[in-house]
């Protein structure tokens, strides 16, 4: 089960400078207590410099924008990832899809069920933390000759921490 709170805000200045901010806090029941709430923000800033220098009527270079952004995203774990669990056993008899326990067994006049469980193949981790990925982007959008030719240049970097991998 998850629950989240989200907030967003935008500011613009003279049709040339824009700031966007977001924040999200998420709570997840699949993570251990104390580590089950995580916050991830984002921010982006763009500057249309051709508006400041009144170049929008210039037919050779009518539009130019610089931009930069940062974002962090979070991810919780799959259910049943913090403890070791047991699952009902089954065996393959070669003729059916498998025979699952419990198997009724008659001993004398009594019927007993032989119960079989096996440990799950994925180990639980009681110290599990939420996974997070941070990304950074910077770029420019340039247009020339009455917006007929455009160039978009972007640099992007991303890094993940505390990745949740089954073991």
> In this predicted structure, what is the pLDDT of residue 101?
66
Cβ(47)–Cβ(67) below 8 Å: yes
**pLDDT for 107-161, tens place per residue?**
777 776 666 777 777 788 899 999 999 999 999 999 999 889 999 999 999 999 9
Question: Cα-atom radius of gyration of the chain, to the nearest Å?
Answer: 28
Residue 28 or residue 86, greater confidence: 28
> In this predicted structure, what is the pLDDT of residue 102?
67
How many helices (H) and strands (E) the chain has is answered by 1, 12
**pLDDT for 83-111, tens place per residue?**
888 877 776 777 777 776 666 667 777 77
> In this predicted structure, what is the pLDDT of residue 165?
84
**pLDDT for 12-26, tens place per residue?**
999 999 999 999 999
When pLDDT is averaged across residues 33-60 and rounded to a whole number, the result is: 90
């Amino acid at each position: 089960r998850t629950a989240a709170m989200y907030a967003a805000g935008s500011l613009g200045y003279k049709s040339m400078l824009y700031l966007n901010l977001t924040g999200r806090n998420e709570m997840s029941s699949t993570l251990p207590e104390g580590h089950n709430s995580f916050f991830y923000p984002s921010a982006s800033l763009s500057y249309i410099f051709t508006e400041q220098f009144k170049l929008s009527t210039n037919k050779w270079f009518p539009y130019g924008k610089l931009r930069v952004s940062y974002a962090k995203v979070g991810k919780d774990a799959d259910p049943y990832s913090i403890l070791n669990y047991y699952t009902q056993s089954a065996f393959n008899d070669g003729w059916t899809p498998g025979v699952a326990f419990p198997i009724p067994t008659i001993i004398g006049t009594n019927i007993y069920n032989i119960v079989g469980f096996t440990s799950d193949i994925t180990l639980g981790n009681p110290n599990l933390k939420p996974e997070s990925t941070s990304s950074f982007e910077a770029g420019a959008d340039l247009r020339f000759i009455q917006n007929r030719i455009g160039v978009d240049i972007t640099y992007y970097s991303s890094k993940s921490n505390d990745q949740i991998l089954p073991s």
